[in-house]
Structure 1
Amino acid sequence: MKVTRRIALTLGAAALLATGCSGTGASGGSGITVGLAVSTLNNPFFVELQQGAQEMANQLGAKLTVVDAQNDATNQVNQVQTLVTQGVKAIILNPVDSKQAAPAAKAAEMANIPLISVDRAVEGGKVAAEVASNNVSGGSLAAIELGRATSGEVAHLKGISGASASRDRGQGFEQGLNSGNIKVVATAVADFDRAKALNETTNLLQGHPNIKGIFAENDEMALGAIKALGARAGKDVMVVGFDGTPDGLKAIQDGTLVATIAQQPKLLGSKAVEQAVKAAKGEPVQQVVDVEVKVITKQNVAEFIK
């Protein structure tokens, strides 16, 4: 999502708040089936998002049907089309690829089923509500934290190229680079995957043995980078992640991860279900629900340990 669109949508959300449509306190959803199409459940972040969605569905008395695309955009479109034929009353979509999700959005629109995007934007399709964190702001915060922790040459591990979250975090990171004395000398795409990040970081270190820092666009990639660095992690090379997963928090405690920009996946999931039930009942929804990001370091990590 472009920054200008984010600002416009945020202003729209503020206007809704001012008129009392806060998006909280959704009424009961008994008899309502909501479909949740997740990009992948092979990632602790999205497992927590699903848990938050299920908890809210239980609270509202709605039924939640979950499908896992396993990071396959084509598979996800097919899954959404199946949810449409099953007659769900609303669909929550966490797209594998923001642009490739357009046919899924179109299928929901043709069936008059409201679509809620969560964590990542849907481009080229009608969305009733968008539940997400400000990834641009989070990326800038990551650059600030990395600049505080080190100086010199750094590397940037990127997520799935077509995912809006990856583009926004990368954009924010670039915007925040002037906050410290760091310079990006190498980038690699590791698809938000720990094993791929291990391999990519190993390759990066061969070409840039003197890098002093790494920004990974999610904690899974940060943990892969940490494994590749071995004893250098947190000592010679500082790593900053994104998401605030349990494994990421443990790495901060251990001193191998300097910081993570924490989203609140359970809250993302619960807010998405809340808006989906409202939309299914024909009630007003909040066009944008912005879930706050938080910087977690060794100084405050204890506050986030469950």
Structure 2
Amino acid sequence: MKYASKAGLALLAVSSLALVGCSGDQGGGTDTGAEGSGNIAVVLKTASNQFWATMQDGAEAAGSDAGVKVTVQSGTAEDSVDEQTTLLQTLAGSDYSCFAVAPITGTNLNQPLASVSQAGIPIVNLDSAIDADAAKASGIEIASFIASNNSDAGKQAGEFMAEKLGDGAKVAVIGGIPGDANSAARTGGFTDAATAAGLTIVQEVNADWDREKALDAATTILRANPDLGGFYAANDGMALGIVQAGQNEGRTDLIIIGTDGNKDAIESIEAGGLSATVSQYPYAVGTLGVDACRALISGATVPAQVDAPIALVSADNATEALASYPKPFQEYDNPFLDLIKK
């Protein structure tokens, strides 16, 4: 089944809706929904990042539309590993019929997830992959992995960069946290596409997903490479830091591409700052995660992996993207809706 970009599709009649705030010492989180086909717990990285906050919005909306109780929890920061693990440990001791999780690292949630699996409760992995070998060793069964194709996102950015700059231009790459699989896939996809099109990568550095660190790194790179043509950043926050660095250095001609499709990034594109972002539609990932849980709770077998939608947003379609935000401005497949047993 496909989701429409604006009107959306009605899932089930909503009988009631309650929003309950969770305690501050547990990071960002809410409960939403009413009694339905089972309680669903969603554990994300941090609601302080617009990407994850938007994923939370999508999960909560899917629960509300279906009349299913969805509890969303997340840490206070993107590197709050111990906090996120503790959150899941607490939730694992409660009455939930399915868990949808986006771990900060490939293994930090494995201990509580092992107990979830042993109890026969289904697990859906969102966006950031749980390490497959470590999961197998811990007896963790992942019912479905839902994520954007990060390598393809980087590839689209690389092709767009090459189209704008032409053969022989010099570009730089700024990644997230060293060793992060999503960052590596995005920057790897970009580098492969850019070099294949004749661009030269003069430097690649990491800025830990941080806007200020990206600003500082970009400033250093620009001063060392005055003929640089552009930057690719593995997320939008860092890309906007690069935009600021370019403005500070008088380089408003740079082609700067981010990844995620956050609202402030799309607004920057409309204003002539950022050149493009590869939108990964976290809202859709959240929706898909809850719908996967609903299907699993109903007794269905779900696909082992589902690719979430992505789209390159530039000046050509930024207005359309903003009009639909946070939902995708194009239709996308949701295979879980047809699997939910009534």
Q: Secondary structure at the match of 2:36?
A: coil
- State which of 102, 106, 109 in structure 2 corresponds to 1:98: 106
The answer to whether residue 294 in structure 2 is matched with residue 286 in structure 1 is: no
Q: Identify the residue that residue 218 of structure 1 maps to in structure 2.
A: 235
Find the counterpart in structure 2 of residue 132 from structure 1: 147
Q: Which has the larger radius of gyration?
A: 2
> Which residue of structure 2 lines up, in the alignment, with residue 36 of structure 1?
42
User: Does 1:89 find its partner at 2:89?
Assistant: no
**Structure-2 residue corresponding to 1:111:** 119
* 1:93 CA displacement: 0.7
Distance in 1 between residues matched to 2:99 and 2:261, nearest whole Å: 26
Equivalent residue in structure 2 for 1:53, among 49, 53, 59:
59
Question: Following TM superposition, by how much is the alpha carbon of 1:209 offset from its aligned partner in structure 2, in angstroms?
Answer: 3.6
Query: Is the alpha carbon distance of 1:165 and 1:181 closer, same or farther for their aligned partners in structure 2, counting shifts above 3 Å?
Result: same
Q: Quick one: which amino acid aligns to residue 114 of structure 1?
A: P
**How far apart are 1:232 and its partner, in Å?**
5.8
The residue aligned with 1:15 is none
Contact 1:154 1:185 in 2 (8 A): yes
- Residues 1:247 and 2:264 are matched in the alignment: yes
Instruction: Please name the residue that 2:164 is paired with.
Output: 149
The corresponding residue for 1:273 is 290
> Match of 1:182?
199
What is the rounded CA distance, in whole Å, between the counterparts of 2:254 and 2:112 in structure 1?
A: 42
AA at the equivalent of 1:194: R
Distance 1:238 1:297 in 2: 11
Equivalent residue in structure 1 for 2:276, among 242, 247, 259: 259
Task: Note if contact 1:233-1:256 (Cα within 8 Å) is conserved in structure 2.
Answer: no
CA RMSD, 1 decimal: 2.3
* Long gaps (5+) in structure 2: 1-8, 14-34, 136-140, 324-342
Native 8 Å contact 2:81 2:108 kept in 1: yes
Match of 1:6 in 2: none
SS of the aligned residue for 1:170 comes to: helix
Alpha-carbon contact 2:261-2:313 (below 8 Å) kept? yes
Q: How many residues of Structure 1 are paired with residues of Structure 2 in the alignment?
A: 284
Aligned amino acid, residue 223 of structure 1: L
C-alpha deviation, 1:95, in angstroms? 1.5
TM-score by length of 1: 0.85
Instruction: Give the counterpart letter for 1:300 in structure 2.
Output: N
Give the 3 Å change call, closer, same or farther, for CA 233–164 of structure 1 in structure 2: farther
State the AA in 2 paired with 1:211.
L
